[in-house]
Amino acid sequence: MKKNPNDAKAKLQFSECNKVVKRDAFLKAIEVGDAPSAAEGLDLEHMAVEADYDGVRLEKEMTLEFIDDMVERFKNGKKIHRKYVYQIILAVKDLVYNEPTMVETFVKEGHKLTVCGDTHGQYFDLLEIFRLSGRPSPTHGYLFNGDFVDRGSWSTEVALLLYAYKMLYPTTFFLNRGNHETDDMNRMYGFEGECKHKYSERVFKVFSESFSALPLATLIGEKYLVLHGGLFSDDDISLDDIRKLNRHKQRQPGQSGLMMEMLWTDPQKEPGRGPSKRGVGMQFGPDVTKRFCERNGLEAVIRSHEVRMEGYEVEHDGRCITVFSAPRYCDSTENKGAYINVGSDYKLDFHKFEAVPHPPIKPMAYAASSALGMM
């Protein structure tokens, strides 16, 4: 720029370099904890709930009565009070922050765990899962494998309901992070806009902090590794590497590394590894899955991240299972949804379901205009 101040190409490259430098400085500030929390200064104790608020009141602990009332409010297009929104998000942020990067759980005799894939803001289809499979309870756990938000136009309702159940049943209700529990995706595909429209920008920022605290994987009965995207570019990655990963050091997944691969990769039919059709991450073949499962004593990897027309697909000789729980995705793909029930015998019981009607609000109603062309 000093040599050729009027060079248009140099100007453009200089501008892009400046953006990168600023971004890296911002990420370093986050790593050392310099960035203030959006929750700082929130005085929930003295935040008043107006006398004419017509919903159930939430005290310190979550209750089924509050959840039932919230479910009905959301079905009728109502909101919950902003105090309760903050209260739920902050409580769950603390809960999940203290969980390991890979949660390890077992299914007790007489208990059941239901594994769900992407729900993508499809609130009424989420309620259908609970109707068909049964509501969460101390003996009926759930694991939602990321992508709770974006695209569908009831993302705040989905996230708040899942968080409320996590608050009520912290040891049997599990949430893995997906690639849409990230800032760049939320800005593009609607969650940030929806939070601003229904609540406030600060609600989005507090949600963002809670998303970055979520675990990245769940190990069920030492048999099934559940993570949103898939496997790795390096054959030497083990369950211990996931256990040791400090997800709190890097809030957003970036363009490379273990966290990015856990959130973004996809299976392919061909052996080996290939480039990703998404432009982020890569694809892994049946031989990669076989080696990973054998080295780590696993029966299979369960992942989500991709639409499957029947709601689920078993591939890679039974070792790679995709489950997707947003039927009639974006009101345009005629796919079924699915979920997997796991009992104490650790056999996988697959269930498919159809989309249910919803109010006439289109998908991506709150998305950035540039994302609408990607539908």
The answer on 266 and 131 residing in a single domain is: yes
Catalytic site residues? 180
Q: What is the pLDDT of residue 21?
A: 64
User: Would residue 52 count as lying in a domain?
Assistant: no
Asked whether residue 220 is domain-assigned, the answer is: yes
Q: Quick one: CA torsion of 364, 370, 374, 375, rounded to 10 degrees?
A: 20
**320-323/312-315 β-pairing:** antiparallel
Number of folded domains in the chain? Answer: 2
Asked whether residue 222 falls in the same domain as residue 316, the answer is yes
pLDDT in the model for residue 4: 85
Buried b / exposed e across 176-209, counting CB within 10 Å, b at 16+? bbbbbbbbebbbbbbbbbbbeebbeebbbbbbbb
Same domain, 145 and 30: no
Residue 62 placed within a domain: no
- Do 25 and 161 fall into the same domain? no
d(CA 88, CA 16): 39
Check residue 372 and give its pLDDT: 64
Mean of pLDDT over the chain: 94
Q: Say if 73 falls within a structural domain.
A: no
> Tokens 């030492």 sit at which residue?
222
Here the CATH number for the domain that contains residue 293 is: 3.60.21.10
Please state, in angstroms and rounded to a whole number, the distance separating the CA atoms of residues 179 and 105. 23
Which residue carries 């101390």 as its tokens? 138
pLDDT digit string, tens, across residues 273-308: 999 999 899 999 999 999 999 999 999 999 999 999
Tell whether 104 and 242 lie within a shared domain: yes
Would you say residue 63 lies in a domain? Answer: no
**267: containing domain:** 88-372
- Do residues 170 and 28 share a domain? no
pLDDT tens string 20-56: 666 555 555 444 445 789 999 999 999 999 999 999 9
pLDDT of residue 251: 87
Q: Where are the alpha helices (DSSP H) in 61-182?
A: 64-75, 82-97, 123-133, 155-168
* Same domain, residue pair 224 and 340: yes
For residues 164 and 251, membership in a common domain is answered with yes
Q: What is the pTM (predicted TM-score) of this model?
A: 0.90
Residue 131 maps to a domain: yes
Q: Which residue has the tokens 């005799």?
A: 109
> How many helical (H) and strand (E) elements, i.e. helices and strands, does the chain have?
12, 14
Does 102 lie in the same domain as 20? Answer: no
Is 92 domain-assigned?
Answer: yes
So what's the pLDDT on residue 30? 46
CB 143 within 8 A of CB 113: yes
Residue spans of the chain under pLDDT 50 = 29-33
Query: What is the pLDDT at residue 25?
Result: 58
Q: Sign of the C-alpha dihedral, residues 63, 248, 47, 60?
A: positive
d(CA 195, CA 273): 38
- What per-residue string of b and e applies to 268-305 under the rule 16 or more CB within 10 Å gives b? beeeebeeeeeebbbbbbbebbeebbeebebbbbbbbb
Q: Token digits for 315?
A: 């591939």
Shared domain check, 352 and 204: yes
Specify the pLDDT at position 318. Answer: 98
Do 22 and 96 belong together in one domain? no
Residue 348 inside a domain? The answer is yes
